[in-house]
Structure 1
Amino acid sequence: MSNTLYIPEANPIHFVPVNPNTPGSYATRFFDAYVFADTLRDFEQPDKFFMPWYKNDRIHLQFQANFAPLQLDVQDCDLNTVLTVTAAQVRANRYQPGFYIYEASIDVSSLPDGAFRILLTPGEDDSAAQKSEWLQLSLNTENTIFLEYFNSRFKDDVVYETGIRFGLRVPGFLQKVAPGSVDQLYKDQILNQSTLSSKPFKNWKVFIGDGRGVPESLIEKVNRAYAVDNISHDGRLLAKADGAKWTEATEDKKRLVGYTMDLVEGLNRPSRIVNPDLNTNIRLIVQYNIEAGVFGDTSGQAGENTVSINYYE
């Protein structure tokens, strides 16, 4: 079997080939094969885009491959390597025999403020190297939202059962909008109306782009993030409203586009819960330890006969 690498789109970093294998007769430069700057047409505004990244945010990545190593080099503007991480083999991929799951956690807190990119070299094969969009590292989080997301089980080629939690910082902000409710009303014979039940909820609107807009690759990442069953916005659980779609805000000859979408509370609680010892903005977790010979440890180490089963509120 030839060497094959899967880079799930749910990863927060957008990778494209360092040397795209595109015939010269093809003029279209697709966003998933080129960085944003290389996709601009000659009649479009020459915008630059740097993905904002708070220096204390770790970059969590997952890959699937049937070969190793997977090396990640953080490079500065002069393409000097300032940090190197090798993805760790976590476990065999039960969904694809012969492949293993690799994960990497990149800590950029020690780097100075500035622009950096990530170079992914699979199996020490420079011809298959992948590069990321440029990241702008700083301690400034103004007008950004940190999205943290995961799914309760395998989805979109990501084995979430390893415990991975992705984080993606995007330019944008949240705005509270008019509340709503789901009502059941009753009118009697003379039209006296009464409420049989009413379930109120809060409505929000998310703005992606912070006035300047974002490239196609980033909104695709954000759209993937909203496809999972757990997503928080700066620590607050919010989810797509029923039937919500992205709305675009564009300008002529400008490739960077702004987007908005309606959200609702991910936890629609009727009370605020105050407990200094707990994070009350997450779903309640009840954990049972089941001891039986038929259960085995599903972690990379294995060897135990206790499996933790989690139930979520």
Structure 2
Amino acid sequence: MAIPPIFQTKHFDDFKFEQRLLPWQEQERYERIWQTTDIVNLQFTASFSPITVQLLDENDDIVLALPALVGLPNIYVPGAYLFSVNMSLATVNTGCYHFRIIAGPAGPTQKTYTSGCHYVSQDPIPQSILIEYFHSMYHEDVIFETGIKFQCRMFGHIGFLDPGRNDEFFRDQRYNPGLLNSRTVRQWPVFFGNEFGLADDDIDLLNRIWSCDNVFLDNKAFGVSDNSKFEFTEEEYFPKRGVTITVEEGINRASKIFALNLDTSKKIMASVNVESTVFGDTSNSGSSNTVPVHNITVE
């Protein structure tokens, strides 16, 4: 993207990480990591079609290509529809790849977007964390009501237990202490980034991830602790940073639990809504190379 002569700033959303580096900073390369066990889920909002997502190797040869499946209309953006892609990396060889998104029909209005390096490994990546996240409703321009759940993998690890507690005391007339109430909590610092740290692009993604009400680190639910903020470890002139945030175990419910006193002699009618992807075309019209497996138990 070219900058008009009157402006000299390479803004975050307009330029890649390498292009935003200043002359006195060390020249580093952006790299996102994946394992072949991971799935890349993407969602788009557009008033046009088609949208194609391609995975290209270092020679720009297409390794995978999936068309985005058009879905429900976006009630928040009149005239626009949702598109989704589910790309499994199971058949990809170890190496550096990049994603290319081709938006719109061929012609002068077609747009092409290319990502930075995405390193895919057939072997497990030590000291990495698979982050899965979703929200209970529309959030950060994503229609989570479709049931989409995102994944990303980053270098990181969970630190030592940092126990916390909230006590309420009282003292009698002789000033003897007494404990009225006590609540304990288990907290852990989570460190993101290896010895080279993370680019601002990943830090921005982490900030958005922790704004969701359901976040899983290696298949265990966590939530940000009260008043916890990102703490950075950085070196002067080095453009990447390590990030630490304190979390607690927990499931963020998007519902309420309640009890009612009812007449047990009366009948209650109940209905069950089964996930729509259980039935129909398992290929999702070509927008997914994953194989959905559903277990339905009827009693």
Q: TM-score, normalised by structure 1?
A: 0.78
Q: CA deviation at 1:175?
A: 0.6
Tell me the distance in 1 between the aligned counterparts of 2:91 and 2:274.
Answer: 35
Show the counterpart of 1:206.
190
- Verify: 1:54 aligned to 2:35, yes or no: yes
> Partner of 1:96: helix, strand, or coil?
coil
> How far is 1:251 from its partner?
0.8
Residue identity in the other structure for 1:84: A
Give the conservation status (yes or no) of the 8 Å contact 1:74–1:82: yes
Q: Does 1:27 align with 2:40?
A: no
Aligned with 1:217: secondary structure? helix
Is the contact made by 2:104 and 2:110 (CA closer than 8 Å) also made in structure 1?
no
Residue aligned with 1:185, SS: strand
Q: What are the within-5 Å matches in structure 2 for residues 52-201 of structure 1?
A: 52-125=33-106, 127-138=110-121, 139-201=123-185
Whole-Å separation in 1 of the counterparts to 2:90 and 2:17: 26
Q: Which has the larger radius of gyration?
A: 2
User: What amino acid maps onto 2:114 in structure 1?
Assistant: K
Determine the C-alpha separation between the residues in 1 that align with 2:250 and 2:227. 15
Percent identity of the aligned residues? 26
Deviation (angstroms), 1:147: 0.9
Write the deviation string for residues 223-249 of structure 1: whole angstroms up to 9, x where unpaired. 100001110111111111111111111
CA contact (8 A) 1:267 1:283 kept: no
CA-CA distance at 1:133 after TM superposition: 1.9
The CA RMSD measured in Å over matched residues stands at 2.9
Deviates more, 1:224-233 or 1:179-188: 179-188
Retained in 1: the 8 A contact 2:161–2:188?
yes
Change (3 A) 1:123 1:154: same
How many residues matched? 266
Displacement of 1:192 in angstroms is 2.1
How far, CA to CA, are the matches of 1:180 and 1:267 in structure 2?
Answer: 18
2:212 to 220, 224, 228: 228
* Deviation sequence 1:239-278 (CA, Å, 0-9, x none): 111111111111111101111111122259xxxxxxxxxx
Alpha-carbon separation, structure 1, partners of 2:74 and 2:277: 11
Q: What's the TM-score, normalizing by structure 2? A: 0.81
The one-letter code matched in structure 2 to 1:83 is: L
Structure 2: runs of 5+ lacking an equivalent: 258-267, 279-299
Consecutive unaligned residues of structure 1, counting only runs of 5 or more, are 1-19, 269-281, 302-313
The separation in 2 between residues aligned to 1:40 and 1:249, in whole angstroms, is: 18
